[in-house]
Amino acid sequence: MKRINADTILGVLFGGLGVFIWVWSARWIDIESYDPIGPAYFPRFMAAIIVGMSAVLVLQSLLTVKSPAHKPDTKGVQPWVYQLGSVLLACSAYLILMNPLGYIISTFAFLGVLIIILGVRNWKTVAKSSLFLTAFLYLLFAYVLGVLLPDGILAVIFS
């Protein structure tokens, strides 16, 4: 029984990426260069390797019954999926909010949320850990290394 698995999908995705690179690189073919092959040659060379190997990966996955790398879960959605999704969301929110809120507030909130997501339920531990880590990182980078971290809404206090 031949069936599609994760490797088949990844093979198709990487193959698609290779084709995209090949097509996108066409815009640099006519650019004058100091070498005879030009700026499009090397990316296209890599794209060709990726397409070729992706085709092999797809064939390999179709010729084997089980995916060699990933066994699909049949027990429904695992708790780590929610945990991982929440971590990714928290990271995205941190990236968006760091400038407007400032490093100190956003990092304290980010660390608190992250520690809760990762499994700590005692609020005192959460508060103490996020406060200590935020203070440690801020003092290390802002004062010891002299990095200009975003002040955000605390700019009034710092200015």
Partner 1 sequence: MENLLTGLENVFTLNNMLAIWLGTLAGTIGGAIPGINASMTMALLLPFTWGMNPITALLMFVGVYCGGQYGGSIPAILIGTPGTTSSAATVVDGFLMHQKGQTGKAVGISLLSGGVGGFISTILLIFIAVPLASIALAFGPPEYFGLAIMGLTMIASLSGKNIVKGLIAGAFGLLLSTVGLDPFSPAIRFSFGSLNLVNGLEVIPVMMGMFAVGQVLYQIRSHEDLPGLDEKAMTQFPTWQEFWRCGPAMVIASVVGMIVGIMPGSGASIGCWIGYNEARRWSKQPELYGTGIMEGVAAPEAANNAVTGGALVPLLALGIPGSNSTAIMLAALMIHGLVPGPLLFLEHPDIPYSIFVGLFVANIAMLVVGYVFLKAAIKIVNIPEPILNAGIIALVFVGAFTINNNLFDVAVVFAFGILGYVMKVYGFPVTATVLGFVLGFLVETSLRRSLTLSDGSWMIFLERPIAAVLLAVAIITIVFSLYREFRPKSKDASSAA
**38 belongs to the binding site for partner 1 (CB under 8 A):** yes
At residue 84's C-alpha, the angle toward residues 80 and 85, to 5°, is: 115
Tokens 């003092």 belong to residue: 139
Q: Work out how close the CB of 135 gets to partner 1 at its nearest, in angstroms, rounded to a whole number.
A: 12
Count of residues in contact with partner 1, rule CB under 8 A: 67
Residues 6+ away with beta carbon under 8 Å from 83: 117, 118, 119
**63 belongs to the binding site for partner 1 (CB under 8 A):** yes
**120 belongs to the binding site for partner 1 (CB under 8 A):** yes
**97 belongs to the binding site for partner 1 (CB under 8 A):** no
Token pair for 84 = 């991982």
7 touches 63 (CB < 8 A): no
Rounded CA-CA distance 118/69 in Å is 26
Q: Work out how close the CB of 157 gets to partner 1 at its nearest, in angstroms, rounded to a whole number.
A: 20
Alpha helices (runs of H) in the chain, residue ranges in sequence order: 6-25, 41-63, 79-101, 103-117, 123-138, 155-158
**Which residue in 102, 88, 81 sits closest to 151, CA to CA?**
102
**23 belongs to the binding site for partner 1 (CB under 8 A):** no
Q: Work out how close the CB of 29 gets to partner 1 at its nearest, in angstroms, rounded to a whole number.
A: 10
**101 belongs to the binding site for partner 1 (CB under 8 A):** no
Q: List residues near partner 1 by CB under 8 A.
A: 6-7, 10, 14, 21, 24-25, 28, 31-43, 46-47, 49-50, 53-54, 56-57, 60, 63-65, 68-70, 80, 83-84, 87-88, 91-92, 94-95, 98-99, 103, 107, 110-111, 114-115, 118-120, 125, 129-130, 133-134, 137, 141, 145, 147-149
